[in-house]
Structure 1
């Protein structure tokens, strides 16, 4: 097994670590940015990729993607194609102005950037409402505005991931590194019990809460996770809090697979959701 490549903010991504582009364009994931100018090296003809955060370089030859697996931290830097949970601050004629993180400028969400939205059918969002969105543009240079959208530009649909307003449920804070792991786990075969990046907490919660109607989850790369257990009826609030506690504890203590299973059982028993 090759030694993991750790990059710091500003480091160039070595070209020999990139997947072969061949007929497909290289796709950039979180933590990697394309510079506007090529490298000064005479032999370089392509643009240079640099790291925007510290992390381990990961590549996917099948999907032809490159990204950085960030370490557990609370800072988030918006990156194109990231899924985020944003909160509406206020609206203007054409946009909803949304908070992605408390430490970055507000992101712009077009009032028609929803599946099937028209001037008559667009969602009437107000301050404090939540949306699950994808970062569509981060601009170039200081002061550039971040834009987000709740539709897939290729299809006009709220896919994948059920983009759009989030109603009900609760939002919990997690680290950005853990949010990346959750996204990989929730979009993989984790529901069949497989450990993805050593993460089984979602699968365990899904199995043990199935009799109560299960739960819905939306994970934002900005360190936010939305959980809704409304199908649990009178146990909805307790179930939601239990899921949030399990995720936050797994994140804070970096639990292994066995400890995650024990945690889920203990928390659900404490909340009197299972016997």
Structure 2
């Protein structure tokens, strides 16, 4: 029986992967692995959906995930990249806001590349960090733990994990954030319907470009400080392009037109 293309929270996922490699099953956002039997041939898995969305399978990478519908509710999943805001600190942890009206996520004071008690970043309330979800609790009200390094290497991988200095943060839907991350992914096929960041990068390259970090929790950080003359205008223009693409569900042609129109209105059209 084929897996359903549309999943609701609690639905079981019936797998039909034909991986040609021995790569373990990679369970992405929106799903939770409940049981794995490596002794059977082929290995069997029990996976359930925790988000509503479309089931996406990648036979080559032996990976599955859920493509979320446009919404603003984020449920933390292990290995997600998120943009978190520092709320307060304690002796061992920084207490961070990942989504409103949920318990604070915990980020270890030494969970940064090369951090020691003397060299760790000194972060104050309101500061931002780009972090990876290390673990999630089971049940309502349980804490999420974050880390700003790859646990396997101790390095800030992928590039950019750690404090986010300067720039501005824009809110987008959780589903659109996931699409932006897939579009920029080098390890998996991108989302060819989302070209807004690529188009902005091409248009602003001769102006100094910009830095971007996309959080799975519906946050996008933009920094155009490399060109101080147009930093504010460019940052606001990029934010407008992102939010309009998200809310209006623009196709690639409309996204290109939006970029040209917005940059021209901001008087930074190349």
**TM-score, normalised via structure 2 length:** 0.91
Deviations 1:88-138 (A, max 9, x none): 000001000000000321100001000000000000101100000000101
Per-residue CA shift, 1:198-242, capped at 9, x if unaligned?
Answer: 111111101110111001000000000000000121210110011
How many residue pairs match? The answer is: 264
Counterpart-to-counterpart distance in 2, 1:36 and 1:93: 36
2:201 aligned partner: 206
Long gaps (5+) in structure 1? 39-44
| Separation in 2, partners of 1:116, 1:19 | 41
Alignment match, 1:41: none
- What is residue 247 of structure 1 aligned with on the other side? 242
**Does the 8 A contact of 2:19 with 2:60 survive in 1?**
no
Q: Does 1:24 align with 2:19?
A: no
The correspondence for 1:224, drawn from 197, 203, 219, is 219
How much has 1:83 moved relative to structure 2?
0.4
Matched, 1:74 2:72: yes
Match of 1:181, SS?
A: helix
Which is further off, 260-269 or 152-161?
A: 152-161
CA RMSD of aligned residues (A): 2.3
Aligned to 1:10: 10
Q: Deviations over 1:164-188 (max 9, x none)?
A: 0000000000001100111111224
Q: What displacement does 1:23 show?
A: 2.7
Distance 2:140 2:231 in 1: 44
How much does 1:61 deviate? 2.1
What secondary structure does 1:87 align onto? strand
Give the 5 Å matches for 1:157-168.
157-168=155-166
Q: Contact 1:181/1:197 (CA < 8 Å) preserved in 2?
A: no
Superposition deviation, residue 67 in structure 1: 0.6
User: Structure 1 residues 216 and 19 mapped into 2: Cα distance closer, same or farther (>3 Å)?
Assistant: farther
Alignment of 1:38-187 (within 5 A): 46=44, 48-187=46-185
Offset at 1:46? 4.9
Structure that is richer in helix per residue:
1
Inter-partner Cα distance in structure 2 for 1:85 and 1:21 = 35
Checking the alignment, whether the CA contact within 8 Å between 2:4 and 2:13 is kept in structure 1 is no
- In the superposition, the TM-score normalised over structure 1's length comes to 0.90
CA contact (8 A) 2:103 2:142 kept: no
Question: Structure 2: which 5+ residue stretches go unaligned?
Answer: 38-42
| Residues 31-58 of structure 1 deviation map (CA, whole Å, 9 limit, x = unaligned) | 00123699xxxxxx95521101111111
Distance 1:61 1:33 in 2: 18
After superposition, what is the alpha-carbon deviation per residue over 1:216-272, rounded to whole angstroms, capped at 9, x for unaligned? 000000000000000121210110011111011000000011110000000000000
SS of the residue 1:119 aligns to: coil
